[in-house]
Structure 1
Amino acid sequence: MQRLVEKTLLIDDSDIDLFIQRRFLEVYNFSVDLYLYKSAEEALKWLETLASEEVPDIIFLDLNMPEYDGFTFLRQFKELPAHVQSKARIVVLTSSNSSKDREQAFTFSNVIQFITKPLKQTDIDDLKKII
Structure 2
Amino acid sequence: MTKKLIWVIDDDIIYQIIVNKIIKKSEMFSAISKFKNGKDAIDDLQKSLGNTELLPDIILLDINMPIMDGWEFMEEMGLLKSVINKQINIYIVSSSIAVEDKNKSKTYPDILGYLSKPISTEDLIMIASNH
> What TM-score do the two structures reach when normalised by structure 1?
0.88
- Shift of residue 126 of structure 1? 3.7
Give the whole-Å Cα distance in 1 for the aligned partners of 2:43 and 2:125.
31
Query: How many angstroms does 1:63 deviate by?
Result: 0.4
Hey, what's the Cα distance between the residues in 1 that align with 2:8 and 2:104?
20
Aligned CA distance change for structure 1 residues 49 and 16 (closer, same or farther; 3 Å): same
Q: List runs of 5+ in structure 2 lacking aligned partners.
A: none
Tell me if the contact between 1:48 and 1:81 (Cα under 8 Å) persists in the aligned partners: no
Specify the code of the residue in structure 2 equivalent to 1:119: I
- Output the amino acid matched with 1:118: P
2:53 counterpart SS class: helix
Q: Which has the higher contact order (CA 8 A, sep 6+)?
A: 2
After TM superposition, the structure 1 stretch with the greater mean CA deviation from structure 2, 8-17 or 80-89, is 80-89
Q: How many residues align?
A: 129
Matched, 1:60 2:60: yes
> Aligned residue for 1:22?
20
Unaligned runs of 5+ in 1: none
State the Cα deviation string for residues 63-87 of structure 1 (Å, max 9, x = none).
0112311111111111115353742
Residue aligned with 1:104, SS: helix
CA contact (8 A) 1:11 1:43 kept: yes
Tell me which residue corresponds to 2:38. Answer: 40
Contact 2:10 2:37 in 1 (8 A): yes
Inter-partner Cα distance in structure 1 for 2:25 and 2:43: 29
Mapping of residues 1-131 of structure 1, within 5 Å: 5-50=3-48, 51-84=51-84, 86-128=86-128, 130-131=130-131
State the percentage of identical aligned residues: 23
Task: Give the Cα separation in 2 of the matches to 1:85 and 1:97.
Answer: 33
TM-score (norm 2): 0.88
Q: Equivalent residue of 1:35, what SS?
A: strand
Query: RMSD in angstroms over aligned alpha carbons?
Result: 1.8
Q: Any idea what the Cα deviations from partners look like across 1:27-84, whole Å, max 9, x if unmatched?
A: 1113111001112101101001112222100000000112311111111111115353
- Given that 1:9 and 1:59 are in contact with CA atoms closer than 8 Å, whether structure 2 keeps it comes out as yes
